[in-house]
Structure 1
Amino acid sequence: MTEQVKPGNKMADMPIAKLIVTMALPMMLSMMIQALYNIVDSVFIGMLPERAEALQALGYAYPVQMLMVALGVGTGVGAGALLSKALGMNDGKKADSAAGNGYFLMLCFTLVFAIFGLFVFFGGVYLDICTSNAVVAEYGRQYLGICLIFSLGQFVQLMGERTLCSTGRTNLAMIMQLAGALTNIALDPLFIFVFDMGIVGAAVATVIGQWVAMIVGFILDVRLNKEIRVSVKAIVTPSARSLGDIFKVGLPAVVLQCLQSLTTLVMQITFGFLYSGAEKDMLVGIYGIFYKLQYFVLMLVYGLNNAAIPVIAFNYGMGNGERVKRAIGASTIIAVIIGALGLVLFEAAPEPLLRCFNASDVAVGTLKSEFMTGVKIMRISATAFPLAACSIIFAAAFQALGLGLRSMTVALIRLLVVLMPACYLMGRFFGADNIWWGSVIAEAAAFVYALATMLFVVKKYVSPLDNYRICAETAIRDELQGE
């Protein structure tokens, strides 16, 4: 039997600003650690003699890895929001069901991607379509195939993280992620250089790190997460209603993450229209590096929103509209600060960041080039960081309030509906060097929509909660006085 939420629960009592910061800092570090998995691989692989082909292979593998993260994070967000809201309503049975069904979905995803991984590893599926360079395709086949076949750790650790975060234990989620990342960092040079396994060693180190995080998360959940109890029965006998509730909130998060993966594919296709052969492969490689650096900055915002979602959902379940509004406001302010710091960093030091990956002089932009360079990519795209940060937080608030379609709309504007035509038009009429201004236009459009929608949602769904609570408190007080 799940323990009921006690009146002293920090999600209900702690001052909002302090609560958000307390929960967000471990989650930010946790998400940064998660982003490190790919960053670390790229840094060490960039030290190999064949680094150009290897980094290009990682660039092609990254969208598929992002798709796995999309399904895992999105499902975890859906299950976590449902779990937090249930705890706020003191419905322990529903909270347990949400957690169990979340794990069931993660196992289903593992099976699908493992089968796909067999086709990639033994048949070269996907990589042969991406590039005509046999060396790049071979490296991609090895790296991506291993990560897919052994993806259980990737999916289950994401669900374990969400169950810990949903009960306010973000510090434990950080420990879980830290265990996996440190394992990966320690094993990468060992497998890549000492055992001379190259890109295969990077994949093996990544998988082992993910499995370590999964095991540590499982132990922490069982031993310390007393608000919920996940049984084998709940996992193997899923509830259709609970699955539906998870998808209602989680699907927009899945779409958001998938769109981020699709964005890299769209840009690769755009490169294919503009360039061919070695130029295209090189540009894919440098864009892959930029995307990981950008993702590293935005991971801080995603860590913040992962902390904000349970706080908003919990207090919404309790009917405390004032705390919901404060949570949204505090999260937005912190997100803007993160975006502004990322903007300053990318504008001030793009070359040192790129050289962490041993990017070539042409890629970095120190040599004259007719195509977009890494420095220009970073400086142009970074101008949209503060707007993107706001949109991400507003989308998270919509998810926490159960308004998944609004959250998905923000993602569609940012990453597809406006982004694709804007980038195409900027590149077509103003040259390839200006194609990245399309991302700034898309982020601005998404921000305008998200802000207008947030004002409407607060007025319609959040503010009335305070009126109901005041009326209820007044009625109780009058009744007591009457006695």
Structure 2
Amino acid sequence: MSQEMKTAPAAENKMGTMPIGKLLFNMSLPMMISMLVQALYNIVDSIFVSKLSENALTAVSLAFPLQMLLIAVATGTGVGMNALLSKALGERRSDEVNRIASNAAFLYFVSYVVICILGFTIVKPFYMSQMGHADVEIMEMGIDYLSTVMLFSFGLLSQIYFERLLTSTGKTIFSMTSQLCGAITNIILDPILIFGLCGLPKMGVTGAAVATVIGQCVAAVVAFTCNHKYNHEVKLIFRGFRPSGRIIGTIYAIGIPSIIMQSIGSVMTYSMNRILIEFSSTATAVFGVYFKLQSFFFMPVFGLNNGITPIIAFNYGAQNRKRMVKTIKLSMITAFCLTFIGFLCFEFIPQALLGMFSASADMLKIGVPALRIIGIHYLIAWFCIICGTVFQALGKAVFSMIVSIMRQLIILVPAAYILSKLGGLHAVWWSFPIAEIVSLTVSLFFLFRIYRTIISTIPDGSDIL
């Protein structure tokens, strides 16, 4: 046995030796649970809001693009921070680790200042750009909701910052714990603040925003406490702190592509809201419900992605083709099973799904056929998602970005607009399966290219199962 193998960390050894099925389960399950928790609390939030009125649900749905943008900035910055931290930790440069963490904290603080300013200035124009003056009630509720979320976004930013510190040192169980605490807090407070229970005043849609903010703050406190008690590899030191252009530049060099990737969804959602509001606010509410529901089925797949990325990357470095291919095959089977459940639900119980959001007769009339049409794309999406992860793990993230941009912006939005003019509201929903078919075609092309140029070049003799 070589000296490298003798001194290799146990956490790395299992990537090359543990049976793939067990390894996939161990690596992905905590991530999948975390993602499910996030999806659950998004759904519950909208369920309670929908009990106020359909207009309230529409107001919250219209806020979603800007909320997605906030999350994109926070998580994208975390991606850059994690990459630098992991490298410095591996090199055992503790001073550099602390400098990276401190500079990242500074970036999150600056991000909050910018978001806070935007919360005072762009919320009303943002709503007006989506719906004009179509409904004053929706506008007022939406402005109250989104302004609260943005002005108190320090909870979200702090939560993501401290959770990313935990994941960078492998303490994902604590990250999952903080998310659970935040989600449970939000779910408990939602009905209390929205409907004025336990002697508190009825706050309506604003109560949902306050519950969200408090939940984020609780999660941030839990994540901070876990860092302070258990994460001794990273220390925040601000005495004599000066921002480092080198560190900040590197964080954003790595993080900005991730921010752009996640922002694509924000632009797509905003554009779809603009298209659908031309028909009715109910159509926009249906789209908002779909977006919440689809996250419940897609989030576990994204958690699976987070687990398989290091497995594929490690075995690519170890030149172990069989373990790479087996990981890809098992992840595709798992992803298909998860999204097939979503397909069955959208096709056979759309009334029940919409009923959770207190759907009116008009909303059911629009929503039932909409969910059944959109549900078709679940039969394809699983493949495209896993392909994107394979591209990233093998250093071809640009392929993943091309597929994502093509699906959500180049195909989906123009197709929705054209179909809205040619076939009306019912035709708009077909833009989702159309975009997914194009995404499948492009993903297959890139996958065959990667197999030919990378995977097939790894010699079979190096394979060890």
**Shared topology, TM-score over 0.5?**
yes
- State the alpha-carbon separation in 2 of the partners of residues 377 and 39 from structure 1: 18
1:31 is matched with 35
Note the alpha carbon deviations across 1:49-87, whole angstroms, 9 max, x for none: xx1221121011111111112222333334445555666
Identity of aligned residues (%): 38
Q: Could you tell me which runs of 5 or more consecutive residues in structure 1 were left unpaired when the two chains were aligned.
A: 366-372, 472-483
> Could you list the runs of 5+ residues in structure 2 that have no partner in the other structure?
1-6
Q: Distance in 1 between matches of 2:80 and 2:311?
A: 14
- Say whether the 8 Å CA contact 2:321–2:460 is kept in structure 1: no
Q: Separation in 1 of the partners of 2:100 and 2:308?
A: 19
Deviation of 1:355 (Å):
1.0
Q: Which moved more, 1:177-186 or 1:157-166?
A: 157-166
Quick check: 340-349 or 11-20, which moved more? Answer: 11-20
Residues 98 and 364 (structure 1 numbering): CA distance in 2 closer, same or farther, change over 3 Å?
farther
**What is the alpha-carbon distance in structure 2 between the residues aligned to residue 95 and residue 332 of structure 1?**
36
Query: Shift in Å at residue 141 of structure 1?
Result: 1.3
Residue 309 of structure 1 corresponds to 309
> Using the alignment, how far apart are the partners of 2:220 and 2:381 within structure 1?
30
Equivalent residue runs for 1:70-469 within 5 Å: 70-81=72-83, 83-84=85-86, 90=91, 101-119=103-121, 124-131=124-131, 132=133, 133-193=135-195, 194=197, 195=200, 196-225=202-231, 228-232=233-237, 237=242, 239-272=244-277, 274-275=278-279, 280-313=280-313, 323-365=323-365, 373-461=366-454
Change (3 A) 1:129 1:219: same
The structural deviation recorded for 1:112 is: 1.4
Q: Which moved more, 1:291-300 or 1:446-455?
A: 446-455
Distance (Å, rounded) in 2 between the aligned partners of 1:60 and 1:308: 34
1:202 offset after TM fit, Å? 1.2
Quote the RMSD (CA, aligned, Å): 3.2
1:15 aligns to 2:19 (yes or no): yes
CA distance in 2, matches of 1:64, 1:468: 49
TM-score by length of 1: 0.82
- For 2:342, give the aligned amino acid: G
Give 2:4's aligned residue: none
Q: Could you tell me whether the CA contact under 8 Å between 1:96 and 1:229 is conserved in 2?
A: yes
After TM superposition, give the deviation of residue 243 of structure 1 in Å: 4.3
Aligned equivalents of 1:452 and 1:348: distance in 2? 33
Distance 1:281 1:429, change over 3 A: closer
Hey, what does 1:480 align to over in structure 2? none
Contact 1:255–1:411 under 8 Å retained in 2: no
**Deviation by residue 1:322-354 (Cα, 9 ceiling, x = unmatched):** 655444443333222211111111111111111
Cα deviation code 1:201-231 (max 9, x no counterpart): 11111001011111211222343345x4143
Q: Distance in 1 between matches of 2:396 and 2:255?
A: 10
The answer (yes or no) to whether the contact 1:387–1:447 under 8 Å persists in 2 is yes
Amino acid at match of 2:383: C
Is contact 1:27-1:307 (8 Å) kept?
Answer: yes
Q: Distance in 2 between matches of 1:245 and 1:400?
A: 20
Structure 1 stretch displaced more, 316-325 or 194-203: 316-325
Tell me which moved more, 290-299 or 346-355.
Answer: 290-299
- Secondary structure in 2 matching 1:357: coil
Work out the CA distance in 1 between the residues paired with 2:91 and 2:203: 52
1:476 corresponds to: none
* Alignment partner, residue 51 of structure 2: 47
Q: Is the 8 A contact 1:179 1:213 kept in 2?
A: yes
